[in-house]
Structure 1
């Protein structure tokens, strides 16, 4: 039987994710091995992500390794994956989603929330939402994998930093001193893991189909469709969350200006059977509601 070579970034979180897929495949009787690869996003830490001008900076290296035939499949945090996959590579499985929300890891106490404070994040989405809620705060750039960012928070005199709850929980790094930011709309597909394979690799696609979680796949598809229609290939402060409850699906999407002062949002609940193109319709609503001009402004500033 073919050994499935699993491409992964070499950070602790990425390896945890890849090992999760490896264990699930082996439980089904498949043989697999990990092939860790360093990505440009992990190597260049002195520039904000949007300045590097590459969508999919964390996925590109693994895409190349797959296209060259060095690995068979690749495991990603789904929120890092561009909405358009490279030619020849397809979505093969979305694993059951973990927590979707962001959390604030703070130092000392939270009295700074009442006055002035400095918060660290490398995400335009988190920055815009933070400034929308706390306009007197300063937001500084924070890059690197989860462990690096946690260490930088420790080493600097910032009040706190924003992280995805799922990432910290997966590698047991979530400290006591955290607050759930239930008001912050997460990144599209946050908390979900995506496995991609080559389009012509029936063996791997068949194996991975067995790991697919349908509810997570539906929700992330809607969120990423919302992102794709709004974004047009540029990084912008966009949040989206779809949730299934019984036979209904609710969706919330937001677009912010870079300074967080302007916010365009859409919120709707539909019957699950009517969810086709839900993300696209929601994005068009935002675009028609001032989002088109706001996106043009964001593109001119980044």
Structure 2
């Protein structure tokens, strides 16, 4: 019989179905280790303001900000996030305590009817600049419309509109059993940094909680998401620029494969990099890959993107 630890760990989460699923997953894992827990749901501005694209709100980490404040104010002890929503620089006093084992990294297209529209003129919905730019790069004749809200809201909007389809992260739909039969894997689309991973953050000075949560950490996922987020941070992407990154560990030869991409907002310009390195070189892989992109036209492209987003 596990001895229950004394302090109750308060788990902060957004109140969407997916966020609550993530919080309950962490709660179960902590309780299995003998810790007492409580879930505290908080609404974020990203869930409330649904009529503006994320990048127009002028803020990275809009989904995480409310929980950061709740943690700093002592209302919750940890926050559970989809790691791709978390800014690469955490607020002062808050630290990454654990990254859980990664789920499906892919983006998928949820479509209505057959896929013949791909060869003609189609209308696709997404609220992500990264997805929009990669879609336009492959299908320049298509229309891309903005799609905001939590997963459930976006699925309903897809049903209610005459779009051909919408792009989702596979992991989000799979976690809450919303993935329909009418989908196709977009294995050509490079995902967001840390897509499919969940991260737990805690207060730097809370040793008890950090010690508890660190037991849930998956080292392989931690390393791969570190590389991807380092790539993103070095390009200064925040959560808005069209940047994709994916690192994968190969067990058979102890190497890391990395793919990174930076695109113009209209998808016409695309700068890509692919590298395979020994595991011993992982700490600088994201940085070095981003530097190569910056030196080969990326610095000018990032300036252009920032100017366009200011308009």
Q: Same fold (TM over 0.5)?
A: yes
Which of 277, 281, 285 is the aligned partner of 2:284?
A: 277
Secondary structure of 1:197's match?
strand
- Name whichever of 267-276 and 180-189 sits farther off: 267-276
Matches for 1:218-229 after TM superposition, within 5 Å: 218-229=223-234
Is 2:85–2:239's contact at 8 Å kept on the other side of the alignment?
no
Residue 154 (str. 1) matches residue 159 (str. 2) = yes
Hey, what's the Cα distance between the residues in 2 that align with 1:121 and 1:276? 32
Which residue number corresponds to residue 84 of structure 1?
89
Is residue 210 of structure 1 aligned with residue 198 of structure 2? no
Corresponding residue number in structure 2 for 1:52: 57
In 1: Cα distance, 2:38 partner to 2:135 partner: 41
Counterpart position of 1:249: 256
1:44-80 CA distance string (max 9 Å, x none) = 0000000000110000000000000000000000000
Match of 2:303 in 1: 296
Any idea what the Cα deviations from partners look like across 1:212-263, whole Å, max 9, x if unmatched? 0000000000000000000254720000000000201010000000000110
C-alpha root-mean-square deviation of aligned residues, in Å? Answer: 0.7
CA contact (8 A) 1:88 1:200 kept: yes
* CA–CA separation in structure 2 for the residues paired with 1:219 and 1:115: 37
Cα deviation, 1:104-154, whole Å, max 9, x if unaligned, reads 000011110010000000000000000000000000000000000000000
Q: Take 1:108 and 1:174, find their aligned partners in 2: how far apart are those partners?
A: 16
Q: Which runs of at least 4 in structure 1 moved beyond 6 Å after TM superposition?
A: none
**Structure 2 length as normaliser, TM-score?**
0.96
Gap change, CA 1:66 and 1:102, over 3 Å in 2 = same
Length-normalised TM-score, structure 1:
0.99
Provide the residue aligned with 1:128 in structure 2: 133
* Aligned ranges 1:13-162 → 2 under 5 Å: 13-162=18-167
> Is the deviation greater in 172-181 or in 224-233?
224-233
Q: Which runs of 5+ in 1 are unaligned?
A: none
Name the residue aligned to 1:263. 270
**CA contact 1:234–1:299 (8 Å) conserved in 2:** no
Show structure 2 runs of 5+ residues with no match. 1-5
